[in-house]
Structure 1
Amino acid sequence: MSHGQDFSRRDFIKISSLFLAGSAAMSTQIGRTFNGSGDALAATGEERVVHSICEHCFWRCGIAAHVRDGKIYKITGSEHHPLSNGRLCPRGTGGIGQIYDPDRLAHPLIRERKGGTTTYRKASWDEAITLTAEKLYQIKEKYGPEAIAMMHHGYGYTFFKQMFHAFGVNKFAKPSYDFCCGPRHQGYILTYGHSAGTPEGIDIQNSRYVIFFGTHYGENMHNTAVQEIAEGIRRGLKIVVFDPRFSTLAGKAEKWLPIKAGTDIAMMQALMHVLISENLYDKEFVEENTVGFNELWDEVREMTPEKAATITDIPADDIRDIARNFARYAPAAAVHPGRRTQWYADGTQRVRAIAILNALVGNYKMPGGVVKYQKYNIAKPDAHPHPHFEKEIWSKYPLFTDIKPENTIASHEIIQQTLQDEIKAWFVYGVNVPETVTMGRKTAIEAMNKVEFLVAVDTLPMEVTGYADVVLPECTYLERYDDLDAGRPYRTPFVALRQPVVEPMFDSKPGNEIARMMAEKLDLHGVFPDSVETYLDNRLKKEGSSLEEVKKTGVLLGKPTDLYRKPGEKLKFKTPSGKIELASSKMKDAGFDAVPKYVAQDEAPNGYYRILTGRKPMLTFGRTANNRFLGDLPTAKENEIWVNPDIASQHRLEHGEYVHLKNQAGVVSEFPIKVKVTERIRKDAVYMVHGFGHYFKKLNHAYARGASHNELISKSEIDTTVGAVGFQNNFVTFIKEA
């Protein structure tokens, strides 16, 4: 449907409840489940436990789903999976709230216009898939495959990617690359030649001293990492936290330092200055295993603790003490690489500074330091008759070199290319674009209203589905198979299985089946085997196992990683020099600074305050926004705006009152937010949890709860090395409800 037509895709609000799940219809669906062979099991009261993997965050922990009388009544951590070890975070246990959400999408939907009104109608799968295939084929024929792009989040994207590769499409973007993992991956690769890993390659449980810069463990609830930190603390681990906000992790720290936001690199340079000027660094390790030491010293020579104190608001004596303690506890000491690492335009250099600090104390492949996990080297899937196109990087940024097959372009580039008429069709899998893409809500909506054809695959009527021409309801992760979770490095390498616990409810389908149907409509015969079970079984048989065997525990384990270097071991790194690059040759060759430099960030306008964001332990943004099982918890009903008492007094704000937020561009939040007056935030910043303030009324539980952070993003800054997006130079003030 052309973007030239005079309707707004936001007309999705007119969808009848007939096309959604509805609680009455839902009750008739509960009671069908799978037995071990995949046959429907009657609701006889029988109890079973099915092992699978979670989908509430990218950690994908092992879960044990407990079924009674055909219904999942409890989800616990799998004792077989190395990332869960029998434990699960609050989000993981809340999967019941997703599968039995009364607002679930129940049927395929097609946008149509009648009598000047745009609405949706219920469609059959054949009709919806046929329309999708026809539109994609027409756009490919008219504009070329580069006019089609896929944005995705969640592990189920793999089958769609395979289908699109066979179709000749190779523009894939995972929005989390832009603001979370991209700079972290590339910063480590530029320094060490390998990624920081997920889970991160820090031997926390054996460490004696770990420094964190704004990493909110305990709130982002990465299960394994929280367990390892708890074990480290039990063994005497000392934690230091630099953060403008007193986070949950800061509450576990030996020392919290309320650093001024945007000054991390200056602080890291000052720590380097102390290590080098006081000869506290590991000279032997640095001389043998690094390049660029002199260039690094030339850069940090002038960043004394006294100078850094004027920039960061952290006393010089504290800076010296931390640097000395870091060296004293090394090599069983580390600076954690963090997550959500792109805050401004310097994310890659910020992560490189972290990697350099670790290298200076010689903690690489040492107990308590930086370690490199191994992955389970599972055989690749059998080739199909349609050749995969060679991976082509579409991003314009010189160091956008993705280490995984998830991205060939940054998601913000898809937005920009759409606005420039270069991309004509979107296929969106599990990405709530208006509330996710970091160009801000307004820009995202402009692009969605301009794109010629938009398909959304989702389980719930998220905002993005209201801008789609076709909505394809996927069943939840508890009702489907996905591809094997293989290739993630860890202490114990593993291959994990996602398998259906109960049958798909309503007229929803698993992604693997949707992708297979689309492939057939596009005449891409043979891309997928006859059944996903056959595909998975063939892959596992190459490892000496089988689908039937792995179903029992949900995981296939390899040999534990040999983490530590041996005495006299010569280290080799996959960098151009073969060594740790304190000064990056790739950065230099691409025209960027070879060593990290501190660049001052924008200051807030008078009466405005920098927005800092994070999450709550029981929520993962859009994945859990409508989850009644989690959202009804007292601390999860809405987000709050944290305000320092002095600032609250200046604006006459009372604890618990509601205000609207106005950003520096004059954008006012659609919904109000509750004020939390607290000493736990600096005076020049405010803090709010992302993922609230949903404006789509069909999200009955999430609608109008709190304020949207994405709505208040009017300014984005690009890290021109790797194409990541920073958005923390946005500021807000308060508009009282009265």
Structure 2
Amino acid sequence: MNHGTEFSRRDFIKISSLFLAGSAALSTLPSGIVSGLGSNPMNGKGEKIVYSFCEHCFWRCGVAVHVSDGRVTKITGSEYHPLSNGKLCPRGTGGTGLLYDPDRLAHPLIRERKGGKQYYRKATWDEAITAVAGGLYKIHEQHGPSAIAMLHHGFGVSFFKKMFSEIGVNKIAKPSYDLCCGPARQATVLTYGYPSDTPEGFDIMNSKYMLFFGTHFGENMHNTAVQEISEGIRRGAKIVVFDPRFSTLAGKAEHWLPIKPATDIAMMQALMNVLISENLYDKEFVEQHTVGFAELWEEVKEMTPEKAATITDISADSIRTVAREFAFHAPAAFVHTGRRTNWYGDAMQRIRAIQILNALVGNFKMPGGVVAFEKYPLPQPPPAHEHPAYEKEVHSKYPFFPKDEPSNTIASHEIVQQAITGEVKALFIYGVNLPETMTLGRQTALEALQKVDFSVAVDVLPAEVTGYVDVVLPECTYLERYDDLDNGRAFRTPFVALRQPAVAPMFESKPGNEIARMITDKWGIHGVFAPTVEAGLDKKLKLAGSSLEEIKKRGVLVMPATDLYRKPGEPLNLNTPSGKVELASAQLKAGGFDAVPKYTKHPEAPAGYYRMLTGRKPMLTFGRTANNRFLGDLATAQENEVWVNTTVASKHQLSHGEYVHLKNQAGIVSEFPIKVKVTQRIRTDAVYMVHGFGHNAKELKWAYKRGASHNQLISKTDIDPAMGAVGFQNNFVTFVKEI
């Protein structure tokens, strides 16, 4: 296999049906699941329940997998796991749709070239691992470890991070950090001195007043948060939603305020203005536990509700009402930071503004306010080998990119750009469908895939990315494997959870731990992993006074709920330069950035175009569930729609239910049409569509051509200059009826 310049222009290869699971998978389906919705009742023969945790989104809820005669018949929420509490969202129950997907990758594949054409051939595991180990090591020897990068998404990546550490490869990124949680993490570090986590640190169930800026609870279906917000509503909590669209959460709100997109910071400054000018803020907390109040007031004193009304399209009276109600219910009140927090390239400062609002009402570590969850104290065994990592060059470009987050040593968009320029020559892609990932848009992703000398994809399904790489390695699903222990997150009830196989791997798929071990063995590096994955897990658990045998019974070990609230007079001792909450950040100021968040006007749509907003559906987690027949049979999950205000629809002569193509400001037209949803539930200056549809990989037989690809229409991105996250909501679209 030649990994030189001839593969710098690799063609897209359609994976042959001979390499997919095909009808063989359907023959293993329990009757009733073939149609996509049903499941067999327990028949009393060979039954068992295996406790594990889900992989259909990052929340990783505990699941009870019901197995009969070696087949998974249904999946329910684990009553023992604190993130599920016996309940699951639709995606969690739909795990059988992935396990028994007839389009699953069944065999390793290697790209070959013959007669000027490129094609995939079925390979043995030894052939595929030899190709991967050789291709990566050759680039490592010729160009150094910095020429290899890994993009990842999914909990199983821990084994591959350990694998790469053995040869000093430390260029690792998950795109979700750039797009979703990164800005909130770093904003909280700069304000409170600790990183926000998942679930985010809010005492939802005990809150009396909750403010949300575009956070779509009920549509993103983050299980525990949805349960807690439902409990909060039951207890009488009031909700305020600032959102250009009338979302599911807005339907539960006391106030829905259809804010103009890209004006959130102006609104937050106006709320601060009211709190301070009307002496509604918590003076005692601010004086004792914060720094930078005078600098904050100097910045926000001119952003009166009247001025903000001209920017945000929300009346001054409404702004004052929300600020006063927020202060009245504090400290049992909060502004939520949300998920997918980067929209316009100023995301970290936008979340900083949210956390400053929280600090002004003194809700930190108070019932119903902002809280700091704790982690289960699971000691980590020392690594088998120590290798110095090369310097994280990203910090010279983005000074506030995290220095303590091992899943991200560089921004994912930097890896993509370095692949295009030639600095990165090999891509190892774990669970990331790069052409449909909101990093820099589809065309940029494809250019990166075509430019690198060597590339590998480890995945379950034949998504778009698997048509461009040199080697495809089929991983078994989360229901067929062990992964590392899950204790990397904090929660009100600290826990450590186990992922364990409910059934044996199907076809020739293998678990990630075995794939990583085979690659290191090919490198001649032995002893990196325990003799078996079970032995490695047991060793870790015994350091905490437990064992694999014990945790397998319920799939989780749980500590008593921690005391989340501060005592009267208790010092905060925060890990900030001042030891206090930083309303004005000394670190940002020293780095040449605004110490206090400032409102900056963002581009407006060209005439006849509309800002493209995006989100998700309860049954969809983008690429992970797009081809899931169990979920896809639900009518609302079969395709996405474009929400268009009735006035805009009339202007463009659009009818409800009609199919149109979308064209963005750069002239890119959606490959597939999308159905129009005419509604008054969205502003006239924006449209809305769910991400994760419009797949052009024919091998995804269910997802193929369903709806339009949001990622294809991203041609403009805005990078947060402080911490390197990617914003993409300065893209605009119009409607094309005929192409």
Aligned to 2:386: 387
Aligned to 1:36: none
Paired AA for residue 507 in structure 2: F
Aligned to 1:100: 100
Aligned to 1:494: 495
Paired AA for residue 644 in structure 2: V
SS of match in other structure, 1:12: coil
SS of match in other structure, 1:120: strand
Which deviates the most, 544-553 or 92-101? 544-553
Paired AA for residue 117 in structure 2: T
Confirm or deny: 8 A CA contact 1:455 1:468 kept in the other structure. yes
Aligned to 1:338: 338
Aligned to 1:287: 287
Confirm or deny: 8 A CA contact 2:9 2:451 kept in the other structure. no
Distance (whole Å) between structure 1 residues aligned to residue 135 and residue 24 of structure 2:
35
SS of match in other structure, 1:159: helix
Aligned to 1:552: 553
Confirm or deny: 8 A CA contact 1:621 1:691 kept in the other structure. yes
Aligned to 2:37: none
Displacement after TM superposition at 1:9 (Å): 3.9
Paired AA for residue 224 in structure 2: T
After TM superposition, the structure 1 = structure 2 runs for residues 425-444 of structure 1, keeping only pairs within 5 Å, are 425-444=426-445
Aligned to 1:34: none
Paired AA for residue 67 in structure 2: V
SS of match in other structure, 1:11: coil
Distance (whole Å) between structure 1 residues aligned to residue 390 and residue 96 of structure 2:
38
- The alpha-carbon distance between structure 1 residues 391 and 563, as it changes in their structure 2 partners (threshold 3 A), is farther
Paired AA for residue 274 in structure 1: V
Confirm or deny: 8 A CA contact 2:3 2:135 kept in the other structure. no
After TM superposition, the structure 1 = structure 2 runs for residues 436-455 of structure 1, keeping only pairs within 5 Å, are 436-455=437-456
Confirm or deny: 8 A CA contact 1:209 1:333 kept in the other structure. yes
- The alpha-carbon distance between structure 1 residues 497 and 229, as it changes in their structure 2 partners (threshold 3 A), is same
Pair 1:201-2:214 in alignment: no
SS of match in other structure, 1:409: coil
Distance (whole Å) between structure 2 residues aligned to residue 67 and residue 461 of structure 1:
26
> Deviations for 1:600-654, whole angstroms, at most 9, x for unmatched residues?
0100000000000000001000000000000111000000000000000000000
Q: TM-score, normalised by structure 1?
A: 0.97
Displacement after TM superposition at 1:419 (Å): 1.3
After TM superposition, the structure 1 = structure 2 runs for residues 18-97 of structure 1, keeping only pairs within 5 Å, are 18-24=18-24, 26-27=26-27, 45-97=45-97
SS of match in other structure, 1:5: helix
Q: Structure 2 unaligned segments of length 5 or more: list them.
A: 32-42
Q: What fraction of aligned residue pairs are identical, expressed as a percent? A: 71
Confirm or deny: 8 A CA contact 2:454 2:469 kept in the other structure. yes
Pair 1:688-2:689 in alignment: yes
> Deviations for 1:369-391, whole angstroms, at most 9, x for unmatched residues?
0000111110103431x214358
Confirm or deny: 8 A CA contact 2:29 2:100 kept in the other structure. no
Paired AA for residue 475 in structure 1: C
Confirm or deny: 8 A CA contact 1:412 1:437 kept in the other structure. no
Distance (whole Å) between structure 1 residues aligned to residue 700 and residue 359 of structure 2:
48
Aligned to 2:267: 267
> Deviations for 1:630-683, whole angstroms, at most 9, x for unmatched residues?
011100000000000000000000000000000000000000000000000000
After TM superposition, the structure 1 = structure 2 runs for residues 261-660 of structure 1, keeping only pairs within 5 Å, are 261-384=261-384, 386-390=385-389, 392-395=391-394, 396-660=397-661
> Deviations for 1:60-97, whole angstroms, at most 9, x for unmatched residues?
00000001121101000000000000000000000000
SS of match in other structure, 1:50: strand
Confirm or deny: 8 A CA contact 1:151 1:431 kept in the other structure. yes
**In the comparison of the two structures, how many residue pairs are matched?**
725
- The alpha-carbon distance between structure 1 residues 105 and 678, as it changes in their structure 2 partners (threshold 3 A), is same
Displacement after TM superposition at 1:24 (Å): 2.9
> Deviations for 1:182-214, whole angstroms, at most 9, x for unmatched residues?
101001100001122211111010000000000
CA RMSD in angstroms, aligned pairs only: 1.4
Q: TM-score, normalised by structure 2?
A: 0.97
Paired AA for residue 324 in structure 2: R
Distance (whole Å) between structure 1 residues aligned to residue 404 and residue 684 of structure 2:
40
- The alpha-carbon distance between structure 1 residues 207 and 25, as it changes in their structure 2 partners (threshold 3 A), is closer
> Deviations for 1:478-525, whole angstroms, at most 9, x for unmatched residues?
000000001311011000000000000000000000000011011111
- The alpha-carbon distance between structure 1 residues 220 and 637, as it changes in their structure 2 partners (threshold 3 A), is same
Q: Structure 1 unaligned segments of length 5 or more: list them.
A: 32-42
Aligned to 2:716: 715
Distance (whole Å) between structure 2 residues aligned to residue 630 and residue 414 of structure 1:
33
Confirm or deny: 8 A CA contact 1:29 1:506 kept in the other structure. no
Distance (whole Å) between structure 1 residues aligned to residue 112 and residue 445 of structure 2:
22
Aligned to 2:126: 126
Confirm or deny: 8 A CA contact 1:113 1:119 kept in the other structure. yes
Paired AA for residue 209 in structure 2: Y
> Deviations for 1:514-565, whole angstroms, at most 9, x for unmatched residues?
0000110111111101100000011111111110110010001123211001
- The alpha-carbon distance between structure 1 residues 60 and 6, as it changes in their structure 2 partners (threshold 3 A), is closer
Pair 1:165-2:165 in alignment: yes
SS of match in other structure, 2:427: strand
